[in-house]
Amino acid sequence: MLQLTQKLKSGNMSILEVPYPALNPGAILVKNHYSLISAGTEGSTVKAARKGYIGKAKERPQQVKQVLDALKSQGIIQTYRAVMKKLDAQSPLGYSCAGEVIGVGSGVRGFNVGDLAACGGAAACHAEIVAVPENLCVKLHPGGELKQAAYNTLGAIALQGVRQADLRLGETCAVIGLGLIGQLSAMLLRSSGVRVIGIDVNQNMVDLALKNCLDLGMNRKDSDIEDRIYRFTNGIGCDAVIITAASDSLDPINFAGAVSRKKGTVVVLGAVPTGYDREPHYYQKELQVRMSCSYGPGRYESQYEEKGYDYPPAYVRWTENRNMQAFQELIAGGKINVGYLTTHTFPLEKAPEAYDMMMAKSEPFVGILIEYDASKPFDAGDTRIELNPAALRPTQVSIGFIGAGSYAQSYLLPNLPDDKNIFRCGVMTSSSAGARSAADRFGFGFCTGNENDIIGNKDINTVFIASRHDSHARYVLKALAAGKHVFVEKPLCLTENELHEIASVYQSKADKPQFMVGFNRRFSPFARVVKEFFESGPLSMNYRINAGKIPASSWIQDTETGGGRIIGEVCHFVDLLTYLSGSLPASVYAVSVDDCDGLDDILTIAIKYRNQSVGSISYFSNGDKSLSKEYLEVYGNGNTAILDDFRSLKIHSRGKKTEKKLFSQDKGQKQEIVEFINGIQSGSSAISFDEIFSTTLLTFKIIESLRTGLAIRL
């Protein structure tokens, strides 16, 4: 299929051939007929991408700070890789579309194949086929007008702003900014019986709105604008003002205060600064300022958008999905007509020309639609995009890669050896553009959105799994059952039952495949030095991790998706201590700080090993990030080793201190890949399955210890 993408590095746009997106549970597959270009949001994205590096940095100061922080903690190489991954990726554009349902994921109850649907969110991009979660889709009436339905997302955004204004029949609202969102807002206000005043700096926009959705329209430059508004409102002022403009100026927010009545409401819907002048209007009138968050309640909530959980209507009447429904009902019932907004329609193949026109402002425009060839057949079995046939021949190491996100593209894929006997056959991700980007960047033979093209491929004997944590166990089980060598990024799985099932399948194999979990720290050069220095135990080990805060809303903290930080990250530190001790753990006891989020990411863990070694892991998320993240002390036989953030190593022995330093941090990611590949070629394992099993089991026992308050034996 075809998809419009843009490279953030150059701003260049392409109509790329990409694989169909994966149809995950809770989502529907839609063949697009139309999608809408958002001149505001997409325009700013395209504008930033077309700037030079300095211009990009000025547009995104927060990202610049992240880069500087990464330079301090990770060094030049890893930071460079992370930045280039972002800049070189083929990034999707668009978030509002409409078309025909051609596939329904498990758990979806509101849609059937053949239904017409309007979709929103990042997945509702400019592509021939999109896969969108159910709560971001609404079913249209049979024969629904798909051209108007494509305005769905922006209509819901406008409707949420109107709801925040909380107006009554006969009241007056001013809309500042009469672009696409402003026109939609005015249209919705007027259809609900509100008197609408529209203001813009562009007279063409004012004239267009006056013909269709305003009771009074004015240019912001008019000298008598405030007097006219007060006359129109019988000297009262506006009951509410909705700011839909995008501007760096304080004029919109201050002007809103000037034309509001006492106790009025100002709703900030557009991207404007809110540092308004306190006097005279906001203070003396006791004005209320409200922000409007995108489509409405549920937006940016993974439980709602990704997992499909809804808010009860009795308590949250208008969610983002119900706003989308309401907007479509207004269109279907003839209460509003957004048809006049469409000034341009471009076929997908010429979509880059639409953005060129928009950026250059070479023609007046409001609504710009992308039209798709709806007659193009959809072949559910044709899921691969062939790119490099030379990589598609069987050899000793033929790699298929599942999941190619930020971590994989920074630490795993760049470290695959360049060797004529190692072939990069195929890469699969749930994102169509992401799969194509990874395949192009790292030289894979094909890209796909279908896991069976990797696991069921007879030419692939080695599978790397770097997808989201909740999918690891499923992919591992399938790959092992298919007889593949498996490298899975941590964690191995999220439940103890999954762990035992994986162990059963692995142990049942007479010819054991190579199997590794991405416990990279044991492969770091300084960890190897410490291991060799302490030839015999028992050892006493104290490992402090200044983990940093991850909000409760993150998918990593979600026990169903990410597993939480004990399963998802503490496993790293358990494995390193296991490696250094040279023994499997025998028991564990853990205590945590009770915090309001209940995340169990401020805790201390005590581990006893079978060879009498002991290890303490202090995992703290409540420290200052200027402190190094990892600090490990190892004691034994009258000697001490201190490893500081995998950058420096101090060894105290016989009254003397020796110190080694690295130019940049090395946590062993490259070496673990090398040793995994070598293991396939030589038949030797870099990590024993017993160690992988016990490390993973211990993370579950840490949680059990926290819940019971008891020491748990393994």
- Give per-residue pLDDT as tens, 276-307: 999 999 999 999 999 999 999 999 998 999 99
| pLDDT of 179 | 95
Residue 595 has pLDDT above 90, yes or no: no
Residue 81 and residue 4 in contact, taking contact as beta carbons nearer than 8 Å: no
Strand partners, 462: 399, 485
Q: Residue 587: is it exposed, middle or buried by C-beta count within 10 angstroms (0-12/13-18/19+)?
A: middle
Q: Per-residue confidence at 16, pLDDT binned at 50, 70, 90?
A: very high
Residue 52 has pLDDT above 80, yes or no: no
The superfamily CATH assigns to domain 2-150+337-371 is Medium-chain alcohol dehydrogenases, catalytic domain (3.90.180.10)
pLDDT (tens digit, 9 = 90+) per residue, 82-112?
Answer: 666 667 778 899 999 999 999 999 999 999 9
Residue 219 has pLDDT above 90, yes or no: yes
Distance between CA atoms of residues 486 and 480, nearest Å: 7
Going by C-beta distance under 8 Å and a sequence separation of 6 or more, which residues neighbour residue 213?
A: 183, 186, 187, 189, 190, 196, 198
Q: Per-residue confidence at 421, pLDDT binned at 50, 70, 90?
A: confident
Q: What is the mean pLDDT of the chain?
A: 93
- Residue that the structure tokens 């809804």 belong to: 310
| pLDDT of 408 | 94
What's the mean pLDDT in 185-191? 97
Residue 34 and residue 97 in contact, taking contact as beta carbons nearer than 8 Å: yes
pLDDT (tens digit, 9 = 90+) per residue, 222-249?
Answer: 999 999 999 999 999 999 999 999 999 9
The region, left, alpha or beta by phi > 0 then psi within -120 to 50, assigned to residue 162 is alpha
How far, in Å, are 279, 361, 419, 693 from residue 686 at the CA level?
Answer: 69, 59, 20, 14
Going by C-beta distance under 8 Å and a sequence separation of 6 or more, which residues neighbour residue 345?
A: 368, 369, 370, 371
Residue 484 and residue 457 in contact, taking contact as beta carbons nearer than 8 Å: no
Q: For residue 207, what is the enclosing H or E element?
A: helix 203-212
Distance between CA atoms of residues 662 and 431, nearest Å: 37
DSSP conformational letter for 514: P
| pLDDT of 68 | 62
Residue 261 has pLDDT above 60, yes or no: yes
DSSP conformational letter for 322: H
DSSP conformational letter for 127: B
| pLDDT of 683 | 87
The distance in angstroms from the start CA to the end CA of the chain is 51
pLDDT (tens digit, 9 = 90+) per residue, 24-36?
Answer: 999 999 999 999 9
What are the extents of the domains in the chain? Answer: 2-150+337-371, 154-291, 388-516, 520-713
Token readout for 349 is: 């193949």
Lowest mean pLDDT among 416-425, 436-445, 565-574: 416-425
Residue 121 has pLDDT above 60, yes or no: yes
Q: Which residue has the higher pLDDT, 55 or 613?
A: 613
Q: For residue 544, what is the enclosing H or E element?
A: strand 540-546
CA-nearest of 662, 681, 694 to 74 is: 662
| High-pLDDT (> 90) share of the chain, % | 84
Q: What is the identity of the amino acid at 373? A: D
Token readout for 85 is: 């991954």
Q: Per-residue confidence at 57, pLDDT binned at 50, 70, 90?
A: low
Residue 647 has pLDDT above 70, yes or no: yes
Distance between CA atoms of residues 234 and 246, nearest Å: 29
What CATH architecture is 388-516? 3-Layer(aba) Sandwich (3.40)
Q: What is the identity of the amino acid at 361? A: K
Token readout for 669 is: 């990611």
Going by C-beta distance under 8 Å and a sequence separation of 6 or more, which residues neighbour residue 337?
A: 148, 331
Q: Per-residue confidence at 605, pLDDT binned at 50, 70, 90?
A: very high
What's the mean pLDDT in 665-675? 95
| pLDDT of 425 | 95
Distance between CA atoms of residues 255 and 260, nearest Å: 9
Q: Which residue has the higher pLDDT, 53 or 116?
A: 116
Distance between CA atoms of residues 665 and 659, nearest Å: 15
What's the mean pLDDT in 558-567? 95
Residue 393 has pLDDT above 70, yes or no: no
**What are the E-state strand segments in 177-232?**
195-200, 216-219
| pLDDT of 441 | 92
Distance between CA atoms of residues 411 and 244, nearest Å: 42
| pLDDT of 536 | 79
- Residue that the structure tokens 């995994």 belong to: 676
**The pTM is what?**
0.90
Distance between CA atoms of residues 644 and 640, nearest Å: 13
Residue 339 has pLDDT above 80, yes or no: yes
**DSSP track, 4-18:** EEEETTT--EEEEE-
User: What is the CA angle 607-612-613, rounded to 5?
Assistant: 55
Q: For residue 502, what is the enclosing H or E element?
A: helix 496-507
| pLDDT of 495 | 97
Token readout for 646 is: 């995998």
For helices 251-259 and 225-232, the axis angle rounded to 10 degrees is 40
Common-topology check for domains 154-291 and 388-516: yes
CATH topology of domain 154-291: Rossmann fold (3.40.50)
Residue 56 has pLDDT above 60, yes or no: no
Residue 486 and residue 465 in contact, taking contact as beta carbons nearer than 8 Å: yes
What's the mean pLDDT in 581-593? 97
Q: What is the identity of the amino acid at 260? A: S
| High-pLDDT (> 70) share of the chain, % | 95
Q: What is the identity of the amino acid at 214? A: L
Residue 66 has pLDDT above 80, yes or no: no
**Omega before residue 273 within 30° of 0, cis:** no
| DSSP reduced 3-state for 72 | helix
The superfamily CATH assigns to domain 520-713 is Dihydrodipicolinate Reductase; domain 2 (3.30.360.10)
| pLDDT of 74 | 63
Distance between CA atoms of residues 292 and 304, nearest Å: 18
Residue 392 has pLDDT above 90, yes or no: no
